Structure 1
Amino acid sequence: MVPADLAWLAYDHTAEEEILMDRGNLLLVHGAWHGAWCWDRLVPELEARGWATSVVDLPGIGMYDDARAVREALVDLDGPVTVLAHSYAGVPVAEVAATVHSVTGLVYLAAHMLEPGESVVSALGGPWYPEGTELLDVPEPARDLLFADLPDELAAWAVERLRPQNAAVFEQEQTEAAWRKLPTAAILCEDDRIFPAMFTERAARAEVVRYLPGGHSPFLSRPRELAELICELA
């Protein structure tokens, strides 16, 4: 959770803001270099609006391993499930979401949309790192690329938690495209400094596309706005 010395940045709401509605299950799936910690500010906002939220920590060994982790998390939930995928998570989510009958829809938050037979690397025309690299360091400068619109203390907290990412997650090919089979909405960030332009263009394939101001990580910078938009879309 957000540490005590950053409590002034944490979620806060008054009783009258509570919305007594059961919206069902929402599974949150983080992107590359991140972990389930990245949802710490968003989860309270979602739960205040009636969502039963769950998070999954991707193993990050390869895309197929991540996809299995997503599927295991989905089958453990009772009742209808909406899946929110951030960035790279769009790939493992697309791999398995349509195989779980309880999944009713997807929300792609600045998330990759791949066709079967593509990988992130192939879709971009080749790797952006030296061939044979197994472990990719955190993109630099992480503060500017991922968290430019966060207050300094919160940005430092987030950067400290980023971890190197296995390159296999970007190299293994998609075999299914659940976003073509399930109702899918896309959320794009207007000042996103790391999301590839080609994937921004691909978001038009979603049934609904919405925009948020700011950078790649609105779950930290704009949790209340993001929660309200998720409620609207899902």
Structure 2
Amino acid sequence: MPTAETRPTFLLVHGAWHRPTCWEPLQDALAAEGWQSRTVALPSGGPQSTPSAGMYADAEEISAQLRQIPGPVVVVGHSYGGFPVTQAAGDHPNVTRLVYLAAYVPAEGEYTRGMHGVPQTDDLEGSAPGLGDTRNVLYQDLTDEQAERAIAQLVEQSKRSFHEPITQAAWRTVPSTYVFCEEDRALQPAMQEKMAARTGHVERIARSHSPFLSAPAELASLLGRIASSQD
């Protein structure tokens, strides 16, 4: 069991179309349990994104954040965030565990769209299309007010980020846990099962794709148990 002095810091890595503000309820819940957390703003999304900002740029930003955090770090990647986390985290000895939260766990050569059967393309300019019925795909277990607030914070996502393949897989060398969201409508159960099989440990939560908004206290407690585990 880590002491207050040796507890790792959580680095929270958001998914596509999101910004770090999505983590605020979870950060408050983690702080209430005595955990420190930081976030990273992936350059592939948001008003500052450019066609050149893809998955590799996101991985570089994660690496920059990891270099600034003293002591051990548990990296939590949500959804698409699993890609740049997988690319970046293996290069940093202070990373003690990866947590894939309803996330992709890619192997070398895999890219986001390719995992859904979309062939590679040379046209990587511009933004990727959104998810359509966002309310029911991402936020079905939020109240209408919560969902409206979350949807209002969504941003554009670069097409390039979904087509750049992984060149190194951190989960091969860093202890990893998969948090399976059983009511997820964005990353379907069959896909999550495939991803979870690549990690060393699996936890399950009866929530949607976005438990950091729908159940922040429950998720904070689960992350605390994961970070404290010696498995």
- What TM-score do you get using the length of structure 2 for normalisation? 0.88
Helix, strand or coil for the counterpart of 1:84?
A: strand
> Partner of 2:47 in structure 1?
none
Instruction: Provide, for residues 89-138 of structure 1, a one-character-per-residue CA deviation record: whole Å limited to 9, x for no partner.
Output: 11101101010111111111011011111111222221599x76731233
Q: Does 1:40 align with 2:30?
A: no
Asked if 1 retains the 8 angstrom alpha-carbon contact of 2:11 and 2:40, the reply is yes
Asked if 2 retains the 8 angstrom alpha-carbon contact of 1:138 and 1:162, the reply is no
Q: 2:89 aligns with which of 97, 108, 114?
A: 97
Counterpart amino acid of residue 180 in structure 1: R
Q: 2:158 aligns with which of 153, 166, 170?
A: 166
- What TM-score do you get using the length of structure 1 for normalisation? 0.87
Percent identity, aligned pairs only?
Answer: 41
Helix, strand or coil for the counterpart of 1:82?
A: strand
Q: How does 1:1-234 map to 2 (within 5 A)?
A: 21-22=4-5, 23-60=7-44, 61-126=53-118, 134-196=126-188, 197-234=190-227
Distance 1:24 1:175 in 2: 27
For structure 2, the 5+ residue unaligned runs are 45-52
Distance 1:148 1:128 in 2: 31
Asked if 1 retains the 8 angstrom alpha-carbon contact of 2:176 and 2:200, the reply is yes
> Partner of 1:16 in structure 2?
none
Counterpart amino acid of residue 227 in structure 1: A
Q: Which has the higher contact order (CA 8 A, sep 6+)?
A: 2
Counterpart amino acid of residue 150 in structure 1: L
Counterpart amino acid of residue 62 in structure 2: V
Aligned residues: 214
What is the deviation of 1:199? 3.9
For structure 1, the 5+ residue unaligned runs are 1-19
Question: In angstroms, what is the RMSD of aligned CA positions?
Answer: 1.9
Counterpart amino acid of residue 27 in structure 1: L
> Partner of 1:11 in structure 2?
none
Instruction: Provide, for residues 53-79 of structure 1, a one-character-per-residue CA deviation record: whole Å limited to 9, x for no partner.
Output: 100010012000000000000000011
